[in-house]
Every structure is written in C-alpha cells, then in structure tokens.
Amino acid sequence: MDLIHIREFVMLAECLNFGEAAERLFISQSALSKHIRAMERELEAPLFVRTTRSIRLSDAGQLYLPYARQMAALYTDAQIALDGLSRRASTSLTIAVMQNPQYYDLAKYITGFRQAHPDLTFSMVEADEGGLWEMFQQKAVNIIPAFSSPQVPEDCQFVPLAESAVVALLRRDHPLAREQAVSLGRLEGERLLLPTRGGSLSALILEAFRREGVTPHVVYEGSSIGCIDLVKAGMGVSLHAREFAATLRRDEDVRCVQLEPAIGFAYGLIHRPPSRLTHAERLYLSHMKKYALS
C-alpha cells in the first residue's frame, strides 16, 4: 500500500470533495480519483459511496479511516525526524585526524576552517592509518588524512596538501650521524626502526630499499615515540617523516640525516565524490583544497 495514497484518502475523507482535496494535495482530481480506485482494488472494498452530487464514506471507509490516520501520522513523524537529521548533518561535522597531527600542521588547517565557519559544530576523532581506513570503509567519515598511495579507491580522490620525505634519525654517537646524507646501501646491516607495520610510509621505505637492491634489517615497526626511545638506547636507526624529525631539533641525543636517493611522498586528504558528502563535509573539503599543491 502506497503511503502517499493513504494520506490522500485521509484528506478526501475529511473534505468529502474531490476538487477541494485535490487542491489541498496539489494534484489533479483525475490523479486523486485514480489513486483512490487503486486503494479500493487492493483492499477489495469500496472506500466511498459516490453519487452524481456528493460522496460519503462507505462502511469499509469508516472502518479503515482511523487506521489510515495513524499510518499517515507515522509517515509525517518519520519525515519530520529525517528532515531534522538532515539539518543536523548539514551543520555538524566529524573531522578525522591522523595520530600525531602536530607533525603535519593539521591544527593550522582545522583552526582556519573553524574561524571561517563558526556556525558549524564539529568534533575530531584521532586514529592511526589503519583505524582511519576502517572508519572510511564503514562510512563513519567521508574524508580522511592520508599519505600518497596507489590504494585510493577508484571513486575517491586524493588531495595533496604538502610534500615531504623520509629521513634517518640516529643517536649522536652513531658513526653515520656526522654525515650530510646517507645512501640506503650504507644502511644495509643496520638495525632499522620503521613506522607502523603495514602503513604507507613503511611500504614506501621498503620499496625504496628493494629498488636499490638492498635488504633492510628491520627490527621494529611501531610508534614514533617508540622509535625515538630505541634510537636513544642505541637499538638502531629510525627512518621517519621529515616533519617528525623537525620536532626533535632540540634533542641533543638524536641527529637527523638526509637519505640518498630521497624517499619522497605527499600527504593530504582522501575523500568520496562531492555528491556523496554532506553540506558540512563539502565546506571542509573546499577549505582544505585552498592549501592543496598545484
């Protein structure tokens, strides 16, 4: 049973005039008559008694009317609830950020967005790369920060915000700590400490070693802080993003050395097509694209 037709039946039962009911419903009299006949066929009972001058509810129509009113009211309540949800979604936003967002100036971008759109309410959720992808796949969020990767879904787009590179972090007394740059070949045999296992950065680093024909000796894949603690303890050489290394400039126990050849990458946002974003998400994407690399 079409709920629209049920609402039309209720209106006609109240007006008992096809012309007036059709006008209130913003449809033609012929369409209204057609819909009522369809209901009667489905219910296998006449809902109205028609004469040349008037109509009135039949016994079946009088019996059916209170149920029809309940169904029409529920339909209206459901529409109001969904409209309210849509309005809230259009003015609220969940911003996904990568662990340790301070390394990538995300606070600057988000603060600028907040100042540009003070009427929006938003919250932030932080996760590692795997957690962000899981939220994205479950459609909990439609925009996530990410490193450049060939794994971007076909119907999605990667917006690069900045370029970076991987550097080597060594304890100050390490023999290579005095070098301006270190080749991947000279790191063969060194105990290597890499970012989180299975992440894009680790994949980029391992692929760079493969291209150079060097077998890396990886002893740890984990958090940034864990890598630095192990570097300070003399447990190995950490390969990490340049932005993370910049936070250690005042650390006298750690030295940052460039790699040869350079392992470059971009970081930015992955988003679904704009047609599948909420109003607030489109505003956020538009704001972030102002910082995109040309």
User: Which residue bears the tokens 């790369």?
Assistant: 129
The second-level CATH assignment, the architecture, of 161-266 is 3-Layer(aba) Sandwich (3.40)
The encoded tokens of residue 23 equal 């006008």
Residue 76 has pLDDT above 70, yes or no: yes
The pLDDT value given to residue 234:
92
**In angstroms, how far apart are the furthest CA atoms of the chain?**
105
Q: Which pair of structure tokens corresponds to residue 110?
A: 């988000």
Kindly report the backbone phi and psi dihedral angles of residue 268, in degrees, each rounded to the nearest multiple of 5, phi listed first. Answer: -175, -135
Q: Regarding predicted confidence, which is higher, 262 or 197? A: 262
pLDDT at 89: 53
Which SS3 state, helix, strand or coil, does residue 170 take?
strand
Least confident window among 57-66, 158-167, 173-182, 248-257: 248-257
Question: In the block, which residue shows the tokens 């958090």?
Answer: 223
Give the pLDDT of residue 113.
86
Same fold for the pair 90-159+278-289 and 161-266: yes
Q: Is the peptide bond before 273 cis (omega within 30 degrees of 0)?
A: no
Three-state secondary structure call for residue 32? helix
Q: How confident is the model at residue 267 (pLDDT cuts 50, 70, 90)?
A: confident
Domain positions in the chain: 3-89, 90-159+278-289, 161-266
Residue 31's nearest CA partner among 18, 40, 44 is 18
- 57, 13 contact by CB (below 8 A): yes
Highest mean pLDDT among 59-63, 113-117, 159-163: 59-63
Question: Is residue 189 very low, low, confident or very high in pLDDT (cuts 50, 70, 90)?
Answer: very high
On whether the 3-89 domain is CATH 1.10.3720.10, my answer is: no
The owner of tokens 């400490």 is 193
Whether pLDDT at 149 is above 70: no
- Residue 50 tokens read as 């028609």
Do residues 166 and 192 touch, judged by C-beta distance below 8 A?
no
Quote the CA–CA distance of 224 and 222 in Å, as a whole number: 7
Distance, CA of 120 to chain centre: 17
Confidence of residue 83 (pLDDT cuts 50, 70, 90): low
**pLDDT, tens digit, 9 for 90 and up, residues 97-147:** 887 655 666 777 788 888 888 888 888 888 888 888 888 888 889 999 888
Dihedral sign from CA coordinates of 277, 278, 281, 287:
positive
Q: Which CATH number fits domain 90-159+278-289: 3.30.70.120, 3.20.20.70, 3.40.190.10, 3.30.413.10?
A: 3.40.190.10
Range of weakest confidence among 166-170, 178-182, 207-211, 276-280: 276-280
Taking the C-alpha atoms of residue 131 and residue 96, their distance in angstroms, rounded to an integer, is 10
The interaxial angle of helices 279-289 and 59-91, nearest 10 deg, is 20
Residue 46's SS3 state is: coil
pLDDT higher than threshold 80 for residue 277: yes
In order of 3, 111, 150, 200, the CA distances from 144 in angstroms are 39, 17, 15, 14
Rounded Cα distance between 225 and 279, Å, is 37
Query: If we measure between CA atoms, which residue out of 90, 101, 92, 86 comes closest to residue 132?
Result: 101
What is the band of 46 on the pLDDT scale with cuts at 50, 70, 90? Answer: very high
For the ranges 70-79, 160-169, 255-264, which has the lowest average pLDDT? 70-79
Assign 268 a pLDDT band (cuts: 50, 70, 90).
confident
Cα atoms in the Cβ-side hemisphere of radius 13 Å centred on 56: 4
Higher pLDDT, 77 or 257: 257
pLDDT of residue 275: 84
The pLDDT of residue 75 is: 79
Each residue's pLDDT tens digit, 204-235? 999 999 999 999 999 999 887 888 899 999 99
Distances (CA, A) of 71 to 7, 45, 81: 8, 19, 15
